[in-house]
Amino acid sequence: MTFFQFEADFIKSLRCIPMQVRYKLDTCGIKLKLQQWHQFSDRDRQILVEMPCETASEIPAYRQFLCDTLRERTGETAKDLPIDPHPPWLSGDRIPADVLEKAESCEVKIPIDRWKNLTPLQRFVLIKLSRPSHENKNFVPALQEFGL
């Protein structure tokens, strides 16, 4: 389990969806709203944090657990999210334009060799936090935490 320092204010209670769960949601192709997350029990949330979602057998199992839990807790059916067959966080060869633009607006340059050395989860975090539609107050703290 990987929690980031910039998530520290909500990790103990899991009142927000941690980045590692957001990563898994993108991996298994499910859109989960914060309102839905709040209807999950503490145990449900902990399972979603701890349950693996990487291999060909883990991804559908995670998706099924999430869909079942969502239906049981909210009565709602999970909304599908398109799964990118080549998500940019799995490649260290190119820094996405949104990340470069956001970093530049913060007067930070990200060298490609540093980008390559980030984990896929760290790259995912920076990609998500650099989106124009996302509240990105944690972008600079993430850069600092990742040594950029």
Domain ranges of the chain: 5-80, 88-145
Model's pTM, two decimal places? 0.89
CA distances from 100 to 59, 86, 90, 107, 122 (A): 30, 19, 17, 10, 15
Q: Is residue 30 over pLDDT 80?
A: yes
pLDDT tens digits for range 121-148? 999 999 999 987 666 688 888 999 998 8
Instruction: Tell me which amino acid residue 55 is.
Output: T
Residue 7 confidence class, pLDDT cut points 50, 70, 90: confident
Q: What is the pLDDT of residue 118?
A: 95
Q: What is the pLDDT of residue 37?
A: 94
CA distances from 38 to 16, 17, 100, 144 (A): 8, 9, 33, 29
pLDDT tens digits for range 35-81? 999 999 999 999 999 999 999 999 999 999 999 999 999 999 999 99
